[in-house]
Chain A
Amino acid sequence: MTVRLLQLGISNFRGIKDATIDLSGNVALIGPNGAGKSTIIDALCLAFGRQKLVPVLTEHDFHGSSPTPRDRFLIVATIGGFEDNDAGRHPDWFRQARGVPKWWNPKSKSISPTSSSPEDVLCVQIGLAARFDHDQLEVEIRRYFHDSDKIVDPFDDDAIVSVPTPLLNDVGFYLLPARRTWEAAASFGSELFRRTVAGSDAFPASSVIAQRDELRSPALRPEDDAKLKNLSERINAQLAQLMPGNPKFQLRVTSTDSDSLLRALVPHYARDDQPSLPASRQGTGLLALQAFVILLEVGRARRQKGRSFILALEEPELHVAPGLQRRIVSCTQSNADQVLCTTHSPEVAAAFRAEDVRILRAAPGRLEAVPLLSTNSITARNTERRLAQDFRAQVVDALMHDVVLVPEGRIDHEWLRLLAAISQGGGVAAGATSQAADAPQFATFVGTIPTPDAAIKDGCEFLLRLHHRVVALVDGDTAGDGYISVLTALPCPPSAVLQWSPDWTIEDVVGWIASADESDVLKGVSERTGQPAHASAAKLVDALKRADRSPGALKGNYLAYQDIAAAIAESARSSARARQLLDAVARAARGPVSNDPHVETQKQSTPKCAVLRVLHEPRAV
């Protein structure tokens, strides 16, 4: 049978008061730092008996860090994948002294005691409860069959049945952790390695014995070494006088038994023609892979015996180059029955199907894993499909920020990206002011997406499902005003809608930035593009706005954008302007603002959605 995880319930554990996470299928969980990724991984480890991979439990593992004697934290893992969904075929799991059958519905993702539709999947729930003992100052845990959510206290219930450890091994849950004890991974000091070797009947017994015998009677005997010989003889003489039996001093490598020999083995790697080096001296990439490869071997051995193998990868992007990240994931997908991955890398996220990606949304005390695609890929709306599939990396990147900014279109997104890079100080500008030393607000806190086909409303709706703070950015023209009306009227509107100065589009923004140092910037542009310089910043803006095939039209010419941005970056004054404006956007986006000279609240503001104009020139406050 192939066990699969279906669902994970977490209650009162660390930062989570209550959460139910859908883990059916291969899942990539994406969330920014602090979202709860390691909480989920640790919860899974605790549920399936892998306590050694989790730090020792203390008060801090209880939500609020101050558990009373009555407080409990609870982790409930729902597993399915039983052949034919027939409890009778799995007496190890479903009988009086084991679990009670339950049914999980793949559409509603809910669990009930009876099966009402043929799609229902037979499942069982394993619970892990913990309490803090105030006399011993220790955390006591109990792993049991979670028959019902109505169990009051698993520590004080006569009908609680423990889950026997061999059954947990049936689940076959393994983890490639973020913190890896790298050197030990491929040595006999690692239990995993030892079990892998034993499991594959690969134990090098005869080699070890031969090696051991050699170590007992080595060719080189240190006690006979010219320098040590005198001392050895004097020791032996003295001992002969004090003790019967004539003990003779010898020095041998290891304790000359198989166990110490095995423990003394240190993994080495020889690369190309270089001498072999111990694992601890290898690069972090190799070390990271060492553990992974051994886990794959464990998986292979299990699957060969018809047992299940579920591999969780905790941030596999650590210490590994982007190309390799994707390969690790796809390698796991082919070799495991189920993959669970936590990550903040767009590369890793790209290695999963859109349906399998879940975004972790954390609110105080709560955690949700929201699927990137709200419905399956065939029926999803066009915008949603394009964002989830074609622009997934950018969307994931944006979701990692505090605020997600939805501009009118891809061009806006591209310009914002370039300007943000400039304001980060990407270009070295002479005479940079001390302000540049502060962290740039926009790049740090605001993420943007390339809104496809100018579908700003669809884009907002898509992101509102996935992120708690979504803000739209529209042009200062009447079209922009139109978007404002539409967005503020939504039942669930974005947190704010930002608008540029009256009649301004992003191109006007670029022009204004360039005009801080007009002639130098325009010269710089000309040098890079190889075209004659524009007569004025205004002319540059015109060219930027022209989308037709006329000569000099620059709209949509991303290469030209880069040249212009580079030219701007060279100018300290222009860079400063870029930064000042983007910081204003960031402040407005992060909200709430009051008395900000560069942000003006507009009359279309509603209690749910603030409409703010970002001004390039400060107003009087």
Chain B
Amino acid sequence: MSLALFEGPAGSGKTTQLVAEVKRILAASPLIPGQRVLALTKMHGSRRRMDAKLDLEIRPAKADCQTIDGFALHLNRRWRDLAESTSSTRLPDELDFKGQSELAGQLLALDVVATWVARTYPIVVVDELQDSKDGQIRILEGLSRATRCVCAADEFQDLTGDAGSNASAWARGRCTPVILTGSHRTTVNGILDAADALRSSPPGSLVVAKGFRMSAVASAAQAGAYLSWEITSARSEGCTSAVVLTPTSKEKSAFVRDAVEWVRTKTATSSKGSSTSGPFKIEWESGAHSEVEELVALLKLTADAETQVNVRELEVAARSVGAGDVAAGLQRRRTLTGSETIGSAEGYRLVDRALSMRRSFGVTRSSRLSAMTVHQAKNREFDAVVVLWPRKIRKDPEMQRRLLYNAITRARRRVLVLLEDSKRERIIAPPFVAP
């Protein structure tokens, strides 16, 4: 049917425009009973946030928010007979996400499948289009033929580093994008200038200004102290939300891990000893993969498919770490199969599934003080942002710029970048300084 694309830098209001466009379409052609708006996202976290946003805005119309992988999997399952009869190769395994996307893309190229989806979802919304790759682009291609697709993208925010398949380019080939400019997120010049510098070609240098500061720190402890003071300062300024961002997961960098841990446990004192700051309870936002690994390790499930584990023991262990949903999943499996044991591999899959359900539908305890990766912060905003820039980071300069850009554009009011840089050499190199 149609494809609409909104492009623009971070904070230019893409998501808002996206939702406004959906409302315009709904006003012109309202949904008939049983129809809904379909929103496709890459990750579970964004799925939830999109759900909340749409729900509020398009009432009384309803929206179904799904991850694009989940959508593909469901589609392939329902059309498996057709897939088998038309495909010469074996169908992809459930966990082969790439293969599943490819298959879904092939199925949606068929009129019968695309119109079947369109009858329930005449409108499809895709935010962060730049994150879609390969098979996922083909899925959107098929959908855009039968439904009204509305997308938003910013190529510069593609953090995967895979220049091969470019969803934004595909969309631009299909329609004329609406270019959005300016920032609705922040009016702080320091932040705007820094963002521009990172984005422009050739990139510029970052300048310390009101609202935008950078520091080279010698140790995690020092980073922790600076971080602690920043939080105090932000709060006194009236900031109600703050976040600690890192381009590298806490598992991979001791600097990041220890800095946050420092703030959680220690009190920073001023040089005169007259005032103190912290400790502050910073909560790490659970990463998809790490959560699964943690639980799997705790439950002593190994990847070795041969081992059989007792289900009841697992249930008790799961409940003891607060993973009631995993325990419920295990119990259901026991009821449905009558088997007291479960293979390790299957147990792993069950944990994965339960936790992704939780990410999809669970309610987040929104703590005012979170720490997360730049990926997890996508499309979100906070009053104050502190970026921990460890040594352990991707080497590609373009990627570094994008990571830093994405991090600092999350902020509404203030940004502080702390570099793991005891020799003060990184702070005078790209991406902080023009190459």
A159 near B78: Cβ-Cβ < 8 Å: yes
Interface residues of A in 108-131 (CB under 8 A from B): 112-114, 131
0 or 1 for each of A297-332: is its CB under 8 Å from B? (1 = yes): 000000000000000000000000000000000000
| CA of A134 to CA of B331, assembled, Å | 13
B336 touches A150 (CB 8 A): no
Asked whether any CB of chain B lies closer than 8 Å to the CB of A69, the reply is yes
Q: Kindly state whether residue B323 has any CB partner on chain A within 8 Å.
A: no
| Given known A-B contacts A70-B336, A147-B81, A94 and B119 have beta carbons under 8 A apart | yes
Chain A residues with Cβ below 8 Å from B73 are 158-159
Most A CB within 10 A of own CB, among B73, B74, B79, B336 = B336
Chain A residues with Cβ below 8 Å from B85 are: 112-114
A135 contacts B335, C-beta separation under 8 Å = yes
- Chain A hits for B77, CB < 8 A: 147, 157-159
Task: Mark interface residues in B108-150 (1 if CB within 8 Å of A CB, else 0).
Answer: 0000100111011100000000000000000000000000000
Binary contact readout B48-90 vs A (1 if CB under 8 angstroms, 0 otherwise)? 0000000000000000000000000110011111100110000
Q: How far is the CB of A250 from chain B (nearest CB, A)?
A: 51
- Asked whether B78 lies within 8 Å of A87 as measured between CB atoms, the reply is no
A131 to B338, CA, bound (A): 11
B34 interfacial by beta-carbon distance below 8 Å: yes
Q: Is B422 an interface residue (CB 8 A)?
A: no
Interface check A153, CB cutoff 8 A: yes
Considering the chains assembled together, what is the distance between the CA atoms of A94 and B120 in angstroms?
9
In angstroms, Cα B117 to Cα A140, docked, is 30
Contacts of A113 in B (CB 8 A): 79, 81-82, 85
B337 at the interface (CB under 8 A from A): yes
| Partner pick for A69 among B34, B82, B335, CB 8 A cutoff | B335
Within 8 A of B (CB), among A121-172: 131, 133-135, 147-150, 153, 155-159, 161
Stretch at the interface among A5-13, A96-104, A195-203, A356-364: A96-104
Q: Decide yes or no whether A536 CB sits under 8 A from chain B.
A: no
A153 touches B82 (CB 8 A): no
The answer to whether B391 has its CB under 8 Å from any CB of chain A is no
Interface flag for A92 (CB, 8 Å):
yes
Counting CB contacts under 8 A, is B199 at the interface? no
Query: When the two chains form their complex, are residues B120 and A155 in contact, meaning their CB atoms are under 8 A apart?
Result: no
What is the bound-complex CA distance between A149 and B336, given in angstroms? 19
**Given A95-B120, A134-B338 in contact, is the A87-B34 Cβ separation under 8 Å?**
no
In whole angstroms, how far apart are the Cα atoms of A101 and B77 in the complex? 14
Given known A68-B338, A158-B74, contact A96–B80 (CB-CB < 8 A): no
Complex: chain A residue closest to B91, CB-CB: A150
Please name all residues of chain B whose beta carbon is closer than 8 Å to the beta carbon of A87 when the two chains form the complex: 112, 115-116
Give chain A residues whose Cβ lies under 8 Å from the Cβ of B120. 95-98
Q: List residues of chain A with CB within 8 A of the CB of B86.
A: 114
User: Which B residues from 328 to 343 make CB contacts under 8 A with A?
Assistant: 332-333, 335-339
A426 at the A/B interface (Cβ < 8 Å)?
no
CB of A147 within 8 A of CB of B80, answer: yes
Expressed in whole angstroms, the Cα–Cα distance for A96 and B108 within the complex equals: 12
Q: A97-B34, A114-B82, A159-B78 are in contact. Are A69 and B337 (CB under 8 A)?
A: yes
A80-101 near B? 1/0 per residue, CB < 8 Å: 0000000110011011111011
Set of chain A residues within 8 Å of B116, measured between Cβ atoms = 87, 94-96, 100-101
Residues of B within 8 A of A150 (CB): 80-81
A70 to B336, CA, bound (A): 6
| Residue in B closest to A159 when the chains form the complex, CB atoms | B77
Chain A residue at minimal CB-CB distance from B85: A113
Tell me the nearest residue of chain B to A135, going by C-beta: B335
Contact with A along B239-269 (1 / 0, CB 8 A): 0000000000000000000000000000000
B126 to chain A minimum Cβ distance, whole angstroms, is 17
User: How many of chain A's residues touch chain B, expressed as a range?
Assistant: 20 to 34
Q: How far is the CB of B156 from chain A (nearest CB, A)?
A: 34
Of B79, B335, B336, B339, the contact of A100 (CB 8 Å cutoff): B79
Partner of B336, one of A69, A91, A98: A69
CB-defined contacts of B338 to chain A, threshold 8 Å = 68-70, 134
- With beta carbons under 8 angstroms apart, the residue of B78, B79, B335 that contacts A134 is B335
By secondary structure, the A interface counts as loop
Residues from 42 to 83 in A contacting B, C-beta threshold 8 Å: 68-70
Cβ contacts under 8 Å, A153 to chain B:
336
Residues of B near A147 (CB, < 8 A) are: 77-81
Q: Which A residues touch B115, using CB under 8 A?
A: 87-88
- Asked whether A92 lies within 8 Å of B74 as measured between CB atoms, the reply is no
Query: Is the Cβ of B81 less than 8 Å from the Cβ of A148?
Result: yes
Which residues of A are found within 8 Å of B339, using beta-carbon distances?
69-70
CB distance A155 to B336 under 8 Å?
Answer: yes
**A98, B35: Cα distance in complex, Å:** 11
CA distance A112 to B82 in the complex (A): 8
A131 to B337, CA, bound (A): 10
B30 to chain A, nearest CB (A): 15
CB neighbours (8 Å) of A161 from chain B are 78
In the complex the two chains form, what is the Cα distance from A501 to B74 in whole Å?
72
Contact flags A391-422 to B (C-beta < 8 A → 1, else 0): 00000000000000000000000000000000
Contact with A along B329-372 (1 / 0, CB 8 A): 00011011111000000000000000000000000000000000
Closest A residue to B357 by CB, please name it.
A158
Could you tell me the distance in whole angstroms from the C-beta of A113 to the nearest C-beta in chain B? 4
On whether the beta carbons of B80 and A148 are closer than 8 Å, the reply is: yes
Closest to A102 in B: B81
Q: Are B336 and A131 in contact (CB under 8 A)?
A: yes
Bound: A133/B334 CA distance, A: 11
Residue of B nearest to A150 (CB): B80
Nearest CB to that of B76 among chain A residues?
A: A159
A532→B35 CA distance, assembly (Å) = 90
The docked-state distance in angstroms from the alpha carbon of A69 to that of B337 is 5
Q: What residue in chain A is nearest B332 (Cβ atoms)?
A: A156
Q: How far is the CA of A95 from the CA of B120 in the complex (A)?
A: 6
C-alpha spacing A150/B90, complex, angstroms: 14
In the complex, what distance in Å separates the CA atom of A114 from the CA atom of B337? 34
How far does the alpha carbon of A30 sit from the alpha carbon of B78 in the complex, in Å? 37
B27 to chain A, nearest CB (A): 22
A158 to B352, CA, bound (A): 14
- For residue B91, give the distance in angstroms from its CB to the closest CB of chain A: 10
CB distance from A45 to the nearest CB of B (A): 25
Contacts of B117 in A (CB 8 A): 95-96
Does the CB pair A95–B119 fall under 8 Å? yes
Residue among B34, B81, B115, B117 with most chain A CB within 10 A: B81
Identify the closest chain B residue to A101 (Cβ). Answer: B112
> B334: nearest residue on chain A (CB-CB)?
A69
Q: How far is the CA of A149 from the CA of B81 in the complex (A)?
A: 8
Nearest-CB distance from A334 to chain B (Å)? Answer: 35
Q: How far is the CA of A112 from the CA of B86 in the complex (A)?
A: 12
A96 and B121 in contact, given A69-B337, A156-B336 (Cβ under 8 angstroms): yes
Q: Report the bound CA distance from A150 to B76 in whole Å.
A: 13
Once bound together, how far apart are the Cα atoms of A114 and B79, in whole Å?
11
Nearest CB of chain A from residue B340's CB, rounded to whole Å: 11
Q: How far is the CA of A134 from the CA of B335 in the complex (A)?
A: 7
A85 CA / B77 CA spacing, docked (Å): 24
Residue of A68, A92, A96, A161 with highest tally of chain B CB at under 10 A: A96
Complex CA gap A133/B115 in Å reads 39
Chain A residues, CB < 8 A from B121 = 96
Chain B residues, Cβ within 8 Å of A70: 336-339
Q: Are B333 and A156 in contact (CB under 8 A)?
A: yes
28 A-B contacts (beta carbon < 8 Å):
A69-B338, A87-B112, A87-B115, A88-B115, A94-B119, A96-B119, A96-B120, A96-B121, A97-B120, A100-B116, A113-B81, A113-B85, A114-B82, A133-B335, A135-B335, A147-B78, A147-B80, A147-B81, A148-B80, A148-B81, A153-B336, A156-B332, A156-B333, A156-B336, A158-B73, A158-B74, A159-B77, A161-B78
- 5 closest A-B pairs by beta carbon, nearest first, are A69-B338, A159-B77, A95-B119, A96-B120, A113-B82
| A-B contact sample (13 more), CB < 8 A, given A95-B120, A153-B336 | A87-B112, A91-B119, A95-B34, A100-B81, A100-B116, A101-B112, A133-B335, A134-B335, A148-B80, A156-B332, A156-B333, A159-B73, A159-B74
